[in-house]
Amino acid sequence: MSSTSYAVVGGGAIGGTLAFHLARAGHHVTVVDADPAHVAAINEHGLILDRAGSPESVRLSAAVPDAFSGPLDRVLLAVKAQATESAARWLAPRLGPDGYVVSVQNGFNEPVLADHLGWERTLAAFVNIFADRTEPGVIADGGPGALVIGEPGGEPVSERVRLLVDDLQAWGPAQASDNVEGFLWAKAGFGAMLAATALADEAMADLIDRHRPAMRALAGEVFDVAHALGIRLEPFDAFNPDAFVRGSDRDELAQAVDRLTAWLRTQPKNRSGIWRDLAVRRREVEVTTHYDTVLAEADRLGIGTPVLRAVMAGLRELEDDPGSMSEQRIDELDRIAGSLV
C-alpha cells in the first residue's frame, strides 16, 4: 500500500482515533490541535489508543495551529462543531488548490467549510465513532461504529472519495455513499436521543430503554423535518430510523429500541461525549450547535419541535450547573411527549 499524507485538525476522540489508525497503517499523519498539553504528549510519547485497558502507541507529529503553516492537501477536520468557522478560516490560506477538507464531525458543517474553501474542496462525512479523549495524548476506544464519506450535495462518488475510503479501511469498515445527507439526518435523530441521556448520570442504553416515549418523540421531530426536506434516511449500526418516524408501527418501534439498546450495552463507552463534556470536562457542549440547522429548518417549515427544544434548554442549564443532572429531567420529556399524543 502506498503512503499518503494526512493532516488531522482536531485530535480528540474522533480525530485521534482516525489519526492513530492511519499512522499505524503507514501513512504520514500530522495532528493539529489547539491543546498544547495534548500536542506535547503526542510528540513525547506518541498517540495512545487505549482499548479496554490495553494501550497501544503510534508515533506521529503534532503541532498547535500557530506552529503549523502547511501546506495542506488532505485534511480530516474533527474539531467541535462550534469551532468549525474559526478552523475553516485557518485552513483556507493553507489548503492547496487541489486539496480537500472532510468534516469528520458531528452535525451539519459542510456549508460552513464551503463558504471559506469552496464546495470543490469540501467533502461530506457521517461519523458514529465511540471514543473519548481521556487525558493528553490518550484516546479511549469506545467500540465499533460507522463512517461514511461522500461528495456534498448527493453528487456521485468520486475517485478522491474512493481513495480516502480505501485508506480509512485501516480504521474499519468505512463506506462511500452518494447520500451522506441521509446518514447525517438519521444520526441527528439518534443523536437527539443520546443528547437527552446526558441530562442524567446513567448509562445511555438504560435511559433510552426506560424513556421510550421521549426517545420516539425526539427522533420523530427530527425526522419530520428531514422528510419535509425530501431526505432519504439511511440506517446505520443498530439504528433503524424508519422505525422512529411518526406514525410508524408500534411493534416495529419496540423491536428497534430493543435492538438499539442491546447493541449499546455491548459498547465499552456507556455514556455520551455530551455527558463527558458536562460531568467531567465541565465545558460547553457542541450539541446545541449541531441542532441549530434542525431547529432553523423546523421554524422555516412550521414544524413543532418541543421535546428537542426542551433537551437543548436542559443542556444549556447543565453547562452552568452540571451537578443538577437528574433522570427527572427525562421524566419531564416523557410528559411533554405524552401531552402531544
Helices (H) and strands (E) in the chain, counts: 14, 12
Task: Determine the average pLDDT of the residues in 157-181.
Answer: 97
137: amino acid identity, one letter: G
**What's the CA angle centered on 123, arms 122 and 125, to 5 degrees?**
140
pLDDT tens sequence across 52-88: 889 999 999 999 999 998 789 999 999 998 899 999 9
Do residues 215 and 193 touch, judged by C-beta distance below 8 A? yes
Cβ atoms 73, 29 nearer than 8 A:
no
In 10-94, where do the E strands start and end?
28-32, 47-51, 54-58, 61-63, 72-77
C-alpha cell at 136: 493528553
Give the percent of the chain with pLDDT over 70. 99
pLDDT of residue 152: 93
Tell me what pLDDT residue 2 has: 55
Q: Which of 124, 142, 183 is nearest to 17 (CA)?
A: 142
Kindly report, residue by residue over 142-165, the tens digit of the pLDDT.
Answer: 877 899 999 999 999 999 999 999
The per-residue pLDDT for 249 is 93
- pLDDT tier at 27, thresholds 50, 70, 90: very high
Residue 191 C-alpha cell reads as 443523536
Residue 3 clears pLDDT 80, i.e. is over it: no
SS3 7: strand
Between 12-21, 53-62, 288-297, the lowest mean confidence (pLDDT) is in 288-297
Q: What is the pLDDT of residue 1?
A: 44
User: Is 213's pLDDT higher than 60?
Assistant: yes
Confidence of residue 15 (pLDDT cuts 50, 70, 90): very high
Mean model confidence pLDDT for the chain: 94
Pair 154, 176: CB distance under 8 Å: no
From CA 59, how far away is CA 30, in angstroms rounded? 10
Residue 341, pLDDT score: 65
Give the three-state DSSP class for 6.
strand
Q: What is the mean pLDDT of residues 293-302?
A: 96
Q: What number is the average pLDDT over the span 260-267?
A: 93
- Contact predicate 125/104, CB 8 Å: yes
Phi, psi of 90 (to 5 degrees): -70, -40
| DSSP state at residue 158 | P
